[in-house]
Amino acid sequence: MMYTSSMLLSIVTFVYGLAGLLYIFSWAFHKEGAGKAATWITLIASLGNVAGFLLRWHESYQLGSGYGHAPLSNIYESLVFFALTIGVIYLVIERRYKNRIIGCFAMPLAFFALAYASFGTSVKIQPLIPALKSNWLIAHVFTCFIGYSAFALAFGVSIMYLLKKGKEDPADSGLLFRLPRSEMLDELTHQLIMFGFLFLTAGIISGAVWANSAWGRYWGWDPKETWSFITWLIYASLLHFRLMRGWRGKRIAVLSIVGFAAVMFTYFGVNLLPGLHSYGAMKG
Amino acid sequence: MVQESEIKGNYFESLWKFFASVKLTVVVLLSLAALSIIGTLIPQNESPAEYFRAFGPFMYRVLATLDIFDMYRSWWFQGLIILLTVNIIICSIERLQTTGKIIFTRNPKFNLGNYRRRKSRKDLVITGEIGAALDFSKNVLAREFRFCKVQSAADGFAITAEKGRWTRLGVYGVHLSVVILLIGSLVGSLRGFEGYANIAEGEYTDTIQLRFKDGTLKLPFAIQCDDFDVQFYDTGAPKEFRSKLTIIENGQAVLQKDIIVNDPLRYKGINIFQSSYGKLDGQAGAANITGEIELGFQSKTSGMTYNIKASMNKPVEIPDGLGTFVLDKYYPAAEFRGMAVGPAFQGTLTPTEGKPFPVLLPVRFPKFDSMRKGTAVISVLQTGDIFEQRYFTGLQVTKDPGVSLVYVGFIMMILGCVVTFFMSHQQVVVEIQPKGKKVALMLSGKANKNKVGFQYKLERLAEKLAAIDLTNR
Q: Domain residues of chain B, as ranges?
A: 2-87, 105-164+424-472, 176-280+390-415, 292-382
Last residue of a domain, one of A128, A160, A185: A128
Kindly identify which residue of chain A lies nearest to residue B91, measuring between CA atoms. Answer: A244
* ipTM of the complex in this document: 0.92
* Overall average pLDDT of the A68-89 stretch: 94
Tens-place pLDDT, residues A103-112: 999 999 999 9
Q: Which amino acid is at A224?
A: K
pLDDT confidence of residue B384:
62
- Chain A residues in contact with B30 by the CB 8 A cut-off are 233-234, 237
Residues A113 and A227 in one domain: no
User: Which stretches in chain B have pLDDT values below 50?
Assistant: 1, 283-287, 473
CB contact under 8 A, A237 and B275: no
Question: What CATH number belongs to B105-164+424-472?
Answer: 3.30.160.110
Give the 3-state DSSP-derived string for chain A, with helices as H, strands as E and coil as C.
CCCHHHHHHHHHHHHHHHHHHHHHHHHHHCCHHHHHHHHHHHHHHHHHHHHHHHHHHHHHHHCCCCCCCCCCCCHHHHHHHHHHHHHHHHHHHHHHHCCCCHHHHHHHHHHHHHHHHHHHCCCCCCCCCHHHCCCHHHHHHHHHHHHHHHHHHHHHHHHHHHHHCCCCCCCCCHHHHCCCCHHHHHHHHHHHHHHHHHHHHHHHHHHHHHHHHHHCCCCCCCHHHHHHHHHHHHHHHHHHHHHHHCCCCHHHHHHHHHHHHHHHHHHCHHHHCCCCCHHHHHHC
- For residues B333 and B340, is the Cβ–Cβ distance under 8 A? yes
Mean pLDDT along residues A181-203: 94
**What b/e string do you get for B437-462 counting C-beta neighbours within 10 Å, with b at 16 or more?**
ebbbbbbbbbbbbbeeebeebbeebb
**At A88, which CATH number?**
1.20.120
Of A128, A144, A163, the residue that ends a domain is A128
- What average pLDDT score do residues A154-168 get? 90
| Residue pair B37/A238 in contact by the 8 Å Cβ criterion | no
Count chain A–chain B contacts defined by CB atoms under 8 A.
122
Task: Tell me how far CA of residue A10 lies from CA of A62, A112, A118, A121, B19, in angstroms.
Answer: 21, 12, 6, 12, 54
Min Cα distance A17 → chain B (Å) is 32
Yes or no: say if B81 and B182 are a contact pair by the CB < 8 Å rule: yes
Phi, psi of B224 (to 5 degrees): -110, 135
pLDDT at B126: 84
Specify whether A111 is located in the same domain as A152: no
Last residue of a domain, one of A128, A154, A188: A128
Inter-chain touch B194–A217, beta carbons under 8 Å: yes
Q: What is the pLDDT of residues B122-149, one digit of tens each?
A: 988 888 888 888 888 898 899 989 888 8
Residues of A with Cβ-Cβ distance to B33 under 8 angstroms: 229-230, 233-234, 237
A214 and A113 within one domain = no
CATH assignment, B176-280+390-415 = 2.60.98
Domain count along chain A: 2
CA distance B396 to B196: 4
Within this chain, do residues A163 and A272 fall inside the same structural domain, yes or no? yes
Does the beta-carbon distance from A201 to B414 stay under 8 Å?
yes
Summary mean pLDDT of chain A: 90
The dihedral through the CA atoms of A135, A139, A145, A151 has a sign that is negative
pLDDT band at A197 (very low <50, low <70, confident <90, very high): very high
Q: Is A101 found in the same domain as A52?
A: yes
pLDDT digit string, tens, across residues A219-266: 989 899 999 999 999 999 999 999 888 888 899 999 999 999 999 999
| Burial letters B371-398, b for 16+ CB under 10 A, else e | eeeebbbbbbeebeebbeebbbbbbbbb
Residue from A187, A230, A267 to probe the interface with B (highest B Cβ count within 10 Å): A230
Chain B nearest CA to A226, separation (Å)? 7
State whether A87 and A141 are in the same domain.
no
The interface residues of chain A toward chain B in range 89-108, judged by CB-CB distance below 8 A, are none
Mutation site, B26, B27, B28, B40, interface A, largest A CB count within 10 A = B40
Alpha carbon distance A59, B372 (integer Å)? 63
A196 and A212 co-located in one domain: yes
Distances (CA, A) of A195 to A86, A168, A185, B420: 13, 28, 15, 11
pLDDT, position B471: 54
Strand partners, B248: B222, B253
Query: pLDDT at position B385, please?
Result: 59
- In angstroms, rounded to a whole number, what is the distance separating the alpha carbons of residues A14 and A17? 5
Same structural domain, A200 and A265 = yes
A130 in reach of chain B (CB within 8 A): yes
Please check whether residue A262 is in contact with residue A234, taking contact to mean a CB–CB distance below 8 angstroms. yes
Q: Which of residues 12-51 of A touch B (CB under 8 A)?
A: none
Domain that holds residue A209: 135-284
Per-residue pLDDT at B312: 83
Interchain CB distance below 8 Å, B417 and A197: yes
**CB contact at 8 A, A42 and A92:** no
Above 60 in pLDDT, residue A269? yes
**Are A85 and A143 within one domain?**
no
For B141, the enclosing helix (H) or strand (E) is helix B130-144
What's the confidence (pLDDT) of residue B3?
Answer: 57
For Cα atoms B43, B189, A135, give the angle at the middle one, nearest 5 degrees.
75
| Residue A124 and residue A139 share a domain | no
Report for A60-69, A113-122, B363-372: range of highest mean pLDDT: A113-122
Contact B422 A194 (CB under 8 A): yes
Say whether A130 and B403 touch across the interface (CB within 8 A).
Answer: no
